[in-house]
Structure 1
């Protein structure tokens, strides 16, 4: 990363952490190269398999090995996509660790921040540079990685090993949520570094904070956007669950409209009919998020993450003012 156009604290930050910033900037290029290479290879394998006349659904004599080889290649591509998704889930934690430890806490722990502050650089300007430089690199890198993962999943040729949009490795690796998590953890890492002023401690607390944040949002994600509800007859229905949707809740509905849980009537067909009659159950219901809810859920969750990040930044500057004026 060039420092020619940078001045003051921003240039110092880039110079101090050149290696880490270069790795973060180069990561999208490496991931894109891997994903494109994997897609080209599996696409070639798919074309070659189609030319053999064999079919996965209706395997004929002499096609056993060919089908197995084809499915092995599809499985391999699925693993590549899974590893890329896992990388996207871990990246925000590494971003927070980097800012909490090497960028903030290490300088406060060693006292080297005093050098910058003694050269007409205010504490607020010092912190702003510490946040702005990694934030720009993170925003660009994670956005590119998210777009690359979305492109690869749309063209990954994993028909027989699909992962739906609501799978954590998929949902957390594409769209705006990865960017939101990365920027939020950058802010939380800075706050941890300023509060704790110990490199290792700040890094450990940041990791714990990331885990708590992920678990909390996973627990409430399905309620971030209103679900759709389908109601159908309790017996003798031909209802089909929408393709690509995720089931949130399901159960029974009485004639008065009261909802009962799924375990209200669970037994054999004869007992089931009696149970439905005894409890005045006439219909079943299912609450779900269709595939079209992907973006609303993503945007709401991203908004929450950015709001938390903004709050952490505000608290970080407040801590800095109270301790150093």
Structure 2
């Protein structure tokens, strides 16, 4: 007769599992969207590797043509090949659109469409907690990845950041891909996509509408970007006949507008005396009593403050949209 030997582990000697573990609702949300999360992580790793390699290529180029970090020629930046820097910055600008369309829109719309939301509502987990967990886990994935991409791109751009001839710092390619701006834009588009999906309740339709929403956000942002600055005006009263009469702006400053300054203080469009001959131009300037220039510009030193000001507005909009998602979901999710 055979006997069975007990293999029960004595109390107190069970192996201890170390390290963070997801459980319950957190695990469910991660498991449900793990394909999208891992795809974002993999793409971020590839992008970081690419930008790190290109940073090395840029520094090698600067050392060979300009003697960087102490260039001897003033026009060394004209020889810098900025093709990959510009192309990569433009590609990173699509991150908010991609995240909003492919992650934000289906996040809740998919559950509403396939009936998962009803199943969740019938359990002990509240609707608000379910929505908050979905938004929280997704944000914990998206925000660090976006921050890393922003920091690495800024690190790549840093040696030539103050040279608009290489990459204009007021353009979306540079301004919108560094600092807090890409994080703010991505979060706003993400939460906006979730809200759209929750209202429309159809995945494909929500993705299409979110695409339009994301593009609209980018267009509006590009239109108001320079309005975030505190415009500085400089005037001269030395005439306008010579090149040296034009006011000298700080390095890397962005000239917003320039006008002629009349003796009575009025501003005249600089193209109003663009005559066919120099003699006719001089006569026009004399007739209008032009005595100098007036130039509006944005100093390069304002870039960081402009980014944080704009990002704070986007963060506020994101918070308001999140409150709407939670409030609507609590009452009308299913």
- TM interval, short-chain normalised: 0.7 to 0.9
Shift of 1:130: 1.3
2:223 equivalent in structure 1 = 219
2:263 is matched with which residue: 255, 263, 267? 255
Shift of 1:319: 2.2
* Mapped partners of 1:119, 1:42: distance in 2: 56
* Higher alpha-carbon Rg: 2
2:180 equivalent in structure 1 = 176
Segments ≥4 residues shifted beyond 6 Å: 48-51, 156-161
* Mapped partners of 1:35, 1:168: distance in 2: 18
Shift of 1:41: 4.0
| 2:240 maps to 1:235 | yes
1:121 equivalent in structure 2 = 125
**Contact 1:42–1:157 under 8 Å retained in 2:** no
* Mapped partners of 2:128, 2:106: distance in 1: 18
TM-score by length of 1: 0.84
* Mapped partners of 1:219, 1:45: distance in 2: 34
Distance 1:260 1:8, change over 3 A: farther
1:6 is matched with which residue: 22, 38, 43? 22
2:148 equivalent in structure 1 = 144
Give the number of equivalent residue pairs: 303
1:33 equivalent in structure 2 = 49
Shift of 1:44: 4.3
* Mapped partners of 1:226, 1:156: distance in 2: 24
| 2:294 maps to 1:289 | no
Shift of 1:189: 0.8
| 2:330 maps to 1:313 | no
2:100 equivalent in structure 1 = 96
239-248 or 171-180: bigger deviation: 239-248
* Mapped partners of 1:41, 1:248: distance in 2: 33
Distance 1:121 1:32, change over 3 A: same
**Contact 1:39–1:155 under 8 Å retained in 2:** no
What RMSD over aligned residues (CA atoms) do the two structures have, in Å? 2.8
TM-score by length of 2: 0.82
Matches within 5 A, 1:67-86: 75=81, 78-86=82-90
* Mapped partners of 2:162, 2:247: distance in 1: 28
Shift of 1:146: 0.3
**Contact 2:253–2:298 under 8 Å retained in 1:** yes
Q: Secondary structure at the match of 1:266?
A: coil
Distance 1:136 1:262, change over 3 A: same
1:20 is matched with which residue: 36, 47, 58? 36
* Mapped partners of 2:59, 2:291: distance in 1: 50
* Structure in which a larger fraction of residues adopt helix: 1
* Mapped partners of 1:254, 1:98: distance in 2: 56
213-222 or 127-136: bigger deviation: 213-222
**Contact 2:247–2:293 under 8 Å retained in 1:** no
* Mapped partners of 1:100, 1:29: distance in 2: 21
1:56-85 CA-to-partner distances (Å, cap 9, x unmatched) read x9xxxxxxxxxxxxx7xx53xx33322321
* Mapped partners of 2:223, 2:165: distance in 1: 26
* Mapped partners of 1:286, 1:238: distance in 2: 9
| 2:332 maps to 1:323 | yes
1:62 equivalent in structure 2 = none
* Mapped partners of 1:311, 1:160: distance in 2: 36
